[in-house]
């Protein structure tokens, strides 16, 4: 009777698996080391170039946004919208900032690259408020036409994003003439505020609430000159009562049609951000693309692959009789 002898245990030569694991870990370490030098590669990609203009007249202090955790006043809500948009623009895009009041726009800075200068742009944006206004009147059409002329002269590649409630204060009794080319500058007029009339807060220079603006506080309309075209019939403001404000969509849509810009009502940030990232507002240009994210993902993939291969090898060896 012959004795049963078990087959000898097969062993796996350790040389090859260990060698490949070392190579994988070395490659992961090399990728991490390369990322420390901030490598970049010039690539052609879709980018955007915007000049954001904020209406800082006092009607923009009206509080008709009611989103938990976000500013209720129009100016604060518009600032937050710009901040969200900036964070979603691809690197290589550029953004500038301007302020509108009375009949003109003051450009604080021309478009600069958003990823490298995001902290500077957001810091400047956070300090914008109504006290920076150099006059109290609000003549939106004249301000819009003025900045379009300025962009056509200085930077026709830029797209304009003009945030305003559309309030002409005092109401105009004439229609300004647009002497530019409709569609010569692309962009969007963004209507800020609600459609229901609300009072406009009145603050002192330290930001303390004094009350609300009244119709009696609003100055008389300016006199038309030869720089303007047709006269229009504007009903006078009542002598008594609070001065009420709302987003004047009819007026802003009319301005959009005259200038060739688009109109968009600001309610939620996401639709506006998607609109401003559409291809028709973009340009293809060679930009320096940061390779660190790709190198980091490569290093992580190599480490996971090495550990996965090691676990698989140990499991296979444990099954060998």
Contact 224, 141 (CB under 8 A): no
CATH of 41-286, one of 3.40.50.410, 3.90.1300.10, 2.30.110.10, 3.10.50.40: 3.40.50.410
Reading the block at residue 70, the tokens are 């976000």
Question: Residue 313: its pLDDT value, please?
Answer: 45
Reading the block at residue 203, the tokens are 């603050």
Handedness of CA 235, 201, 142, 71 (dihedral sign): negative
Question: Residue 316: its pLDDT value, please?
Answer: 47
Question: Residue 226: its pLDDT value, please?
Answer: 45
3-state secondary structure 167-194: CCECCCCEEECCCCCCCCCCEEEEEECC
Question: Residue 12: its pLDDT value, please?
Answer: 47
Question: Residue 305: its pLDDT value, please?
Answer: 73
Show pLDDT as tens, one digit a residue, over the chain (321 residues): 455 555 555 544 555 556 767 776 777 677 676 667 666 656 557 899 999 999 999 999 999 999 999 999 999 999 999 999 999 999 899 999 999 998 899 999 999 999 999 999 999 999 999 999 887 788 999 999 999 999 999 999 999 999 999 999 888 777 888 988 999 999 999 999 999 999 999 998 888 999 999 888 876 655 554 455 555 555 556 667 898 999 999 999 999 999 999 999 999 999 999 999 999 999 876 556 666 777 677 767 767 776 765 555 455 445 545
Beta bridge partners of 39: none
Smallest CA-to-CA distance from 137 within 240, 215, 56, 210 is with 56
Contact 131, 99 (CB under 8 A): no
Q: Using one digit for the tens of pLDDT, what is the confidence trace for 5-44?
A: 555 555 445 555 567 677 767 776 776 766 676 666 565 5
Instruction: Kindly list the domain boundaries of the chain, sorted by start residue.
Output: 41-286, 291-321
Kindly report whether the peptide bond that precedes residue 170 is cis, defined as omega within 30 degrees of 0. yes
């Amino acid at each position: 009777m012959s004795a049963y002898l078990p087959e000898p245990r097969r062993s796996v030569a350790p040389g090859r698996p260990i060698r490949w694991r070392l190579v994988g870990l070395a490659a992961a370490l090399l990728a991490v080391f390369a990322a420390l030098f901030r490598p970049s590669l010039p690539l052609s990609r879709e980018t955007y170039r915007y000049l954001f203009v904020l209406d800082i007249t006092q009607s923009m202090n009206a509080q008709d946004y009611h989103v938990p955790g976000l500013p209720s006043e129009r100016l604060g809500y518009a600032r937050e919208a710009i901040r969200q948009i900036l964070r979603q623009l691809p690197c290589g895009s550029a953004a500038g900032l301007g302020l509108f009041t009375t009949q003109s726009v003051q450009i604080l800075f021309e478009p600069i690259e958003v990823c490298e200068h995001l902290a500077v742009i957001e810091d400047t944006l956070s300090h914008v408020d109504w006290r920076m206004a150099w006059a109290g009147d609000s003549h939106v059409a004249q301000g819009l036409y003025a900045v379009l002329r300025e962009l056509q002269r200085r930077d026709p590649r830029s797209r304009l994003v003009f945030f305003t409630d559309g309030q002409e204060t005092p109401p105009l009794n004439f229609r300004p003439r647009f002497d530019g080319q409709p569609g010569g500058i692309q962009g969007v007029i963004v209507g800020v505020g609600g459609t229901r009339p609300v009072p406009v807060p009145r603050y002192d220079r330290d930001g303390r609430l004094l009350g609300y603006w009244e119709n009696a506080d609003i100055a008389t309309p300016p006199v038309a000159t030869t720089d303007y075209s047709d006269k229009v019939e504007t009903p006078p403001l009542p002598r008594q009562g609070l001065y009420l404000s709302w987003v004047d969509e009819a007026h802003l849509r009319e301005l959009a049609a005259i200038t060739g810009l688009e109109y968009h009502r600001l309610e939620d940030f996401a639709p506006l951000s998607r609109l401003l990232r559409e291809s028709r507002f973009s340009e293809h240009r060679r930009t320096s693309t940061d390779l660190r994210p790709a190198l980091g993902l490569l290093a992580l993939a190599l480490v996971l692959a090495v550990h996965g291969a090691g676990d698989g090898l140990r499991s296979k060896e444990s099954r060998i009789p």
